[in-house]
């Protein structure tokens, strides 16, 4: 498999505090790769730096061979990278359909938009049922589906997911992880940040463990799931 995303020696500072300490990792085409670690480890900072929301202080982010640190963040989506933010961040005062349209703002082909919308409704039937409903009135699980659907409207090659199971009931957690696997089977590469390390490692091809801005361990998801140190630190 070819490296779709390659991160080398990436460092980010918040003032005098170094949030990322020269981390390096890669994501291959077609993989699910998980980033796990405690709160404050640098997981969300990593995703925000990849998508251009935070500027890297040093290091390299190469996506499809292009250096992302030199590309404005509003152009990164059009390169085929989408993000599902922590806390879902749906536009509460807009309908479900209006939110989905926002996800397709880089696409100008009306026929393509309609076919993508049909695909999203097929994957998330609840969104079609509630397409004219204000997004702020949806349940947490439905808002997470909407955030995922909105990201998929841009036809990404890779999707960055930040804590997709946060605050959801166990039933919705299982449903969201099933959807992530289905999205990946359809050809979308996934970089997953997730507090629920057990669930993340169970679906990940590979994973990296972040501690205070450094990658301290990496390996296959199944191997880390059975690693005694990881079990003790993250799996309870």
How confident is the model at residue 209, as a pLDDT? 96
Predicted confidence band of residue 169 (pLDDT cuts 50, 70, 90): confident
Predicted confidence band of residue 211 (pLDDT cuts 50, 70, 90): very high
Q: Is residue 9 part of a domain?
A: yes
What is the domain extent for residue 183?
Answer: 3-88+156-235
Is residue 236 pLDDT above 80, yes or no?
Answer: no
Q: Is residue 27 part of a domain?
A: yes
pLDDT digits (tens, 9 = 90+) for 9-21: 999 999 999 999 9
The CATH number assigned to the domain holding 222 equals 3.40.50.300
Q: Is residue 228 part of a domain?
A: yes
pLDDT digits (tens, 9 = 90+) for 131-158: 999 988 998 888 988 999 999 998 899 9
Is residue 78 pLDDT above 90, yes or no?
Answer: no
Average pLDDT of span 121-133: 91
CB 153 within 8 A of CB 103: yes
Q: Is residue 132 part of a domain?
A: no
Long-range interactions of 72-79: CB distance < 8 A, separation 24+? 76/51, 76/52, 77/106, 77/154, 77/156, 78/106
Q: Is residue 114 part of a domain?
A: no
pLDDT digits (tens, 9 = 90+) for 29-76: 999 999 999 988 999 999 999 999 999 999 999 999 999 998 988 888
| Number of domains the chain contains | 1
Average pLDDT of span 218-227: 95
Q: Is residue 96 part of a domain?
A: no
* Percent of the chain that is helix, strand, coil (3-state, to 5): 40, 30, 30
């Amino acid at each position: 498999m070819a490296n779709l995303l390659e991160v080398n020696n990436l460092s980010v500072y918040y003032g005098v505090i170094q949030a990322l300490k020269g981390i390096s990792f890669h994501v291959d085409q077609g993989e699910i790769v998980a980033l796990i670690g405690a709160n404050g480890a640098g997981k969300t900072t990593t995703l925000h730096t990849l998508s251009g929301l935070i500027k890297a202080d040093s290091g390299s982010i190469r996506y499809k061979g292009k250096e992302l640190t030199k590309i404005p963040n509003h152009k990164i989506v059009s390169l085929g990278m989408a993000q599902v933010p922590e806390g879902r961040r749906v536009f509460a005062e807009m309908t479900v359909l209006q939110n989905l349209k926002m996800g397709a703002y880089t696409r100008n082909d009306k026929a393509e938009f309609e076919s993508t919308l049909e695909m999203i409704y097929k994957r998330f039937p609840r969104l079609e049922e509630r397409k004219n409903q204000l997004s702020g009135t949806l349940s947490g699980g439905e808002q997470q589906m909407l955030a995922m659907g909105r990201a998929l409207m841009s036809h990404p090659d890779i999707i960055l997911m930040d804590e997709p199971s946060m605050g959801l009931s166990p039933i919705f957690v299982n449903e969201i992880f099933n959807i992530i696997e289905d999205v990946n089977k359809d050809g979308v590469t996934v970089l997953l940040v997730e507090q629920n390390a057990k669930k993340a490692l169970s679906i990940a091809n590979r994973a990296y463990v972040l501690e205070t801005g450094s990658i301290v361990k990496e390996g296959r998801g199944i191997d880390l799931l059975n690693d005694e140190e990881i079990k003790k630190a993250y799996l309870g």
